[in-house]
Structure 1
Amino acid sequence: MGGAERTARKRRQQQLAARSDGGKAVAAARRSGDGKRIAVIVGVVVAVIAVVVGGLLWSNASKNATEGQLIPTESAQADITERRDGAVVLLGDENAPATIDVYADFLCPVCGMFEQEYGEQIKQKVASGQLLVRQHMLPMLVKKSDPPGYSMDAANAALLAADEGKFVEFHDSLFAHQPEEGKRGYDKEQLIQLGRDLGITGEAFATGVRTGKYEDLLNQEMKRVSEDPSLQQDFGGGQIGFGTPTVVANGEIVDHSDPAWLDQVVAASTS
């Protein structure tokens, strides 16, 4: 083999080696690229799992926000006479010139807003002897808490609190710290503790809350109210029925979206 041939052969070997090395480099690059893609995919999956788990944890925490809480107490700002008459609690002087019936549910968010806007005005007129309130606390949204039952438990406990002369404080405490509709309400033991914190120390209250003493009475009242034609309202779109909050004066449903409605009711009774 001459020198020229040896040189040509050596060149071919170098070219083959270069192609081989280049192929290895390409393969390595491909493997590196695949590794990077895999790492990215894994990272995305981990991030998605973290978001889902975090969302579930937040959702559960939000749903159970009332669990284990003490219900803060609200004190009565005025001396108001109260007594229970069946499923209705009468607040104020029964000889007051004006009377209103208020139908509400402790879980109803619109009832909560009604209390925020008009609760103090109503109590002031009751305390001054101008107004008698017939308060109907209804288990209308009994299936709208998770677990179900808060509307009934709260209404039952409120009637028991009325037996102890503590309805106003109990009522105001539950509305001031109202649970969110569709989520966990307060359980029976929390309602019992609220009663104790308001000064209800007798076992009759706790036993009545645990056993649902007035549940049958409240179910009867809910049935009566929902079937009463005079309490039916047109909510638009062909929807006619009963809803909370409802205020009635002189046999007529009051439009409480008018900020002056209470003054008008009291004025009409004295004119």
Structure 2
Amino acid sequence: MARNLDPHQRDARLQEIRRQNEADRRRARLLYGVAIGVVVALVAVVVVAVVLSGGGGDDEVAYPEGTTLTSPDDPASGGFLVGEPGEVEVVVYEDYQCPFCRDLEEESGELLRELAAGTDASLVRRPVAILDRVSDGYSSRAAAAAACVGEADPDALEAWGAQVFAEQPAEGGAGLPDERLVAIASEAGVDVGQCVEEGRYLGWATATTEAAAAELDRLSTPTVLVDGERVTGADGGYPSPDDLRAAVDAALGAQG
């Protein structure tokens, strides 16, 4: 049909076809841009949703129930009150891989439990994890297991902790397996198998260690505070039973 058109008609027809093709191309580019915009918007919505939900759970921290906070505004600044509340507060920061913590437990564990059973002092056990680098992560695993035990029954934490220290592995190894940490808890009268198996408080072990480092001028283990004051031995190390008793008596005397 185009062959029957004169030259002017053909030129007009060609121009019309070109205009139509250009319009089609513009419309296609517009539709493509709209489609890309929709995809970008959907991706943005997904990203915002993930951020608001805590990144799929990777950054969420579960906090054990029953902790006594040393900083009321920080849920990670918690330890477990063992026994009865007392007049003065004794806080023990301990790492279950720390040899000096084991020595403190062996030498002063009986006195600490005596204080916890009476009304002179409140005993707060504060698990931390600062020796993961020499224990293949055992410090954090043990602190997380301690949180499981303390949440189930704070009083069981005394028997559990004493036995965990008694079986403390040498530095540089893998530490006690989770199965043994659970078995020791069973011997102390609590079932924490699921809590330990799922690593429920591993995030808390990290968070509470960071909180402890922020609270203290220098986080080392063991650290013992009596009414907020650090108590040490004559050589600057961990306190002896006599040092602890004297510090408690001094704090009681200061209260009148």
**TM-score past 0.5 threshold:** yes
Letter in 2 for 1:92: G
8 Å contact from structure 2 (residues 80, 126) kept in 1: yes
Which residue number corresponds to residue 45 of structure 1? none
Post-superposition offset of 1:151: 0.9
- Give runs of aligned pairs for residues 64-75 of structure 1, distance below 5 A: none
Secondary structure of the corresponding residue to residue 134 of structure 2: coil
8 Å contact from structure 1 (residues 105, 137) kept in 2: yes
Post-superposition offset of 1:253: 1.2
Post-superposition offset of 1:245: 0.5
Which residue number corresponds to residue 156 of structure 1? 144
8 Å contact from structure 2 (residues 231, 244) kept in 1: no
Secondary structure of the corresponding residue to residue 143 of structure 1: helix
| Cα distance in 2 between the residues matched to 1:217 and 1:183 | 23
Post-superposition offset of 1:120: 0.6
* Gap regions ≥5 residues in structure 2: 1-65, 69-74
Cα displacement string for residues 162-197 of structure 1 (whole angstroms, at most 9, x for unaligned residues): 222121111111012211111231111221222233
Matched, 1:89 2:80: yes
Which residue number corresponds to residue 199 of structure 2? 212
Number of aligned residue pairs: 173
- Give runs of aligned pairs for residues 160-239 of structure 1, distance below 5 A: 160-165=148-153, 166-201=156-191, 205-228=192-215, 231-232=216-217
Percent of paired sites with the same residue: 27
Which residue number corresponds to residue 261 of structure 1? 243
Secondary structure of the corresponding residue to residue 102 of structure 1: strand
Q: Is the alpha carbon distance of 1:92 and 1:194 closer, same or farther for their aligned partners in structure 2, counting shifts above 3 Å?
A: closer
Post-superposition offset of 1:113: 0.7
* Gap regions ≥5 residues in structure 1: 1-82, 233-240
| Cα distance in 1 between the residues matched to 2:186 and 2:94 | 24
Post-superposition offset of 1:143: 2.0
Moved over 6 A (4+): none
Which residue number corresponds to residue 102 of structure 1? 92
Rg bigger for which structure? 1
8 Å contact from structure 1 (residues 247, 256) kept in 2: no
- Alignment counterpart, residue 129 of structure 2, candidates 136, 139, 161: 139
| Cα distance in 2 between the residues matched to 1:153 and 1:261 | 31
| Cα distance in 1 between the residues matched to 2:90 and 2:187 | 30
8 Å contact from structure 2 (residues 160, 188) kept in 1: yes
